Amino acid sequence: MNNYDPLFGKNFYNDSFHCGIPHGEMLKNIKYKTIFMKARTYISEDGILMAVLNEDDLAKVSGLITGLQVVRFDCGYGIHIEKPKEFIECLVKLV
């Protein structure tokens, strides 16, 4: 945490981090073989999404990237830490 920028955290939390970024356009322009590694979706008891995206968001992404392959992992957000072997296997299949 020595180099953590609290402004980044604040802007990510209040969603101004994404302000003005045309995510949909960027995703539609991906023309390469793409694997989306999806960790399990966890929603807290008070309804807060404790993940990067939910199933509805994933459906939107899938509709924007032609030929997207989704690989699901039964773990939290840190796939590369929690499932390192499976993570590497996924990357090798992409090449």
The predicted pLDDT at position 18 comes to: 78
Residue 13 lies in a domain: no
Residue 81 lies in a domain: yes
- Start-to-end Cα distance in the chain: 34
Residue 6 lies in a domain: no
Residue 79 lies in a domain: yes
3-state secondary structure 16-48: HHHCCCCHHHHHHCCCCCCEEEEECCCECCCCC
Residue 15 lies in a domain: no
The predicted pLDDT at position 19 comes to: 81
Provide the residue-wise pLDDT of the chain in tens; the chain has 95 residues: 578 888 877 887 787 877 888 989 999 999 988 999 999 998 889 988 887 788 999 999 999 999 999 999 999 889 999 999 999 999 998 77
Give the pTM. Answer: 0.76
Residue 67 lies in a domain: yes
The predicted pLDDT at position 94 comes to: 74
The predicted pLDDT at position 1 comes to: 59
- Domain around 74: 31-94
Q: What would the two tokens of residue 74 be? A: 């039964």
